[in-house]
């Protein structure tokens, strides 16, 4: 691999939204440490922070909550389209198509003014949650549950998923998980969104690119793979032989390693605490013990730390979220960061067009087909 492979370490632009210190294991949104936000902020406050780089006052927060609630419902035409999707299609594929379809029913789709883009950021953030829950209902052959305006964004998602208002603890836990996943600087999906919007296409195109990019197992798809791996390992005794066989075969263990963090991912530390508390409460602490053993072995065997996807798997499972939805749930949160980056890119835009180091053949000439 060349030194420029994967653009590792390359600074590709300025941003005021979020920064990651991979050596110290620090993450801040607009200068505020992620731990403070996880402890004190609601997801709605975080959304405002990412979009404006300051916390909202009470009136601004109330207005944002009201806007999100007012824009959460899907157009009946969109729901009719979602009903035509194959039942066995992967949730990230239906989500990508669903996000793209939202643009078709937005009269402001092609308006790239700042005001219209803020309105679209609200609509996309509000509707992403409804879209994921609606697609899941339809996948399970059930009727979608309409969003409720009196619930927080986090509680509303869990409500639409199960049809029941979640407990305060479940809603708060999910709210914190949304905060922890909301932004992460120039990660692959965010960068894809910025590259897309930098051509001056529209926000729906940018967020569709981002959803497509998030789906892969090296990015957002890792949380689903982590849970399937934990299920496959099954028992604590099996952790060591399982990991040894995988590592000997040079397989990547999902939920470990990071392109930027070379120490503990601060989001993983928070999620680990949440996983411990939730699994004990639900009487499934073997899932936590198993995860902790995998974490210890990966550090010992490979010097690799758990990333955001590792403990989010057990957290989501205890919250009753089906494993197929783990990656779509990432999008429910990250759409806040994606839209913040689209707004930021447009505020000081230049098309993103890097160069390639040419390593192909030289001095070739056209040969007529009958002579080849």
Which CB sits closer to ligand COA, 145 or 308?
308
The Cα–Cα gap between 155 and 165 comes to 7
Annotated catalytic, 248?
no
Q: How many CB atoms lie within 10 A of CB 125?
A: 28
Q: How far is the CB of 72 from ligand COA (least distance, A)?
A: 28
Tokens (6 digits) for 113: 């003014």
Which CB sits closer to ligand COA, 52 or 252?
252
Tokens (6 digits) for 191: 């960068």
Q: How far is the CB of 257 from ligand COA (least distance, A)?
A: 2
Annotated catalytic, 258?
yes
Which residues make beta-bridge pairs with 28? 19, 33
* Footprint of ligand COA (CB under 6 A): 6, 218-219, 222, 252-259, 302, 304, 307-309
Which CB sits closer to ligand COA, 56 or 221?
221
* C-beta separation of 64 from 296 below 8 A: no
Which CB sits closer to ligand COA, 155 or 304?
304
The sign one gets for the Cα dihedral 99, 103, 106, 108 is positive
Q: How distant is the alpha carbon of residue 322 from its chain centre?
A: 16
* Annotated catalytic residue within 258, 265, 317, 341: 258
Q: How far is the CB of 181 from ligand COA (least distance, A)?
A: 10
* Annotated catalytic residue within 153, 309, 317, 341: 309
Tokens (6 digits) for 267: 């989001």
Which CB sits closer to ligand COA, 250 or 365?
250
Comparing C-alpha atoms, which of 194, 90, 166 is closest to residue 132? 90
The Cα–Cα gap between 239 and 244 comes to 8
Which CB sits closer to ligand COA, 165 or 259?
259
* C-beta separation of 109 from 204 below 8 A: yes
Q: How far is the CB of 331 from ligand COA (least distance, A)?
A: 14
| DSSP 3-state of 108 | coil
Comparing C-alpha atoms, which of 269, 267, 44 is closest to residue 172? 44
The Cα–Cα gap between 196 and 207 comes to 9
**In what order do the strands lie in the sheet containing 26-29?**
18-21, 26-29, 32-33
Q: How far is the CB of 26 from ligand COA (least distance, A)?
A: 16
Comparing C-alpha atoms, which of 190, 128, 135 is closest to residue 341? 190
Q: How far is the CB of 4 from ligand COA (least distance, A)?
A: 13
The Cα–Cα gap between 213 and 114 comes to 25
Q: What positions carry a catalytic annotation? A: 258, 309
């Amino acid at each position: 691999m060349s030194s420029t492979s994967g653009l590792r370490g390359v600074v590709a632009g300025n941003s005021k939204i979020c920064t990651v210190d991979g050596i110290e294991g620090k993450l801040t949104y607009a200068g505020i440490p992620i731990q403070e936000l996880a402890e004190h902020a609601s997801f709605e406050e975080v959304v405002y922070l990412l979009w404006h780089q300051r916390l909202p006052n009470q009136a601004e927060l109330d207005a944002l909550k009201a806007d999100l609630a007012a824009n959460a419902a899907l157009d009946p035409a969109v729901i009719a389209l979602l009903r035509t999707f194959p039942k066995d299609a992967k949730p990230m594929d239906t989500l990508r198509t669903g996000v793209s379809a939202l643009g078709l029913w937005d009269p402001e789709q092609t308006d790239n003014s700042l005001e219209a883009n803020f309105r679209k950021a609200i609509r996309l953030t509000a509707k992403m949650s409804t879209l994921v829950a609606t697609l899941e209902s339809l996948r399970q052959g059930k009727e979608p549950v309409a969003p409720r305006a009196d619930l927080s964004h986090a509680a509303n998602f869990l409500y639409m998923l199960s049809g029941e208002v979640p407990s305060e603890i479940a809603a708060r836990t999910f709210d914190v998980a949304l905060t922890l996943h909301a932004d992460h600087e120039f990660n692959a999906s965010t960068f894809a969104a910025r590259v897309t919007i930098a051509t001056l296409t529209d926000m729906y195109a940018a967020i569709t690119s981002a959803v497509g990019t998030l789906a892969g197992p090296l990015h957002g798809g890792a949380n689903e793979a982590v849970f399937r791996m934990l299920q496959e390992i099954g028992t604590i005794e099996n952790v060591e032989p399982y990991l040894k066989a995988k590592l000997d075969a040079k397989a990547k263990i999902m939920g470990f390693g990071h392109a930027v963090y070379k120490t503990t991912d601060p989001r993983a530390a928070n999620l680990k605490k949440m996983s411990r508390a939730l699994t004990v409460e639900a009487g499934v602490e073997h899932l936590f013990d198993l995860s902790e053993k995998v974490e210890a072995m990966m550090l010992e065997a490979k010097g690799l730390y758990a990333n955001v996807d590792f403990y989010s798997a057990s957290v989501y499972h205890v919250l009753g979220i089906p494993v197929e939805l783990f990656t779509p749930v990432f999008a429910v949160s990250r759409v806040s960061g994606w839209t913040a980056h689209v707004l930021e890119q447009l505020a000081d835009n230049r098309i993103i067009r890097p160069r390639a180091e040419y390593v192909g053949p030289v001095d070739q000439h056209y040969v007529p087909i009958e002579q080849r």
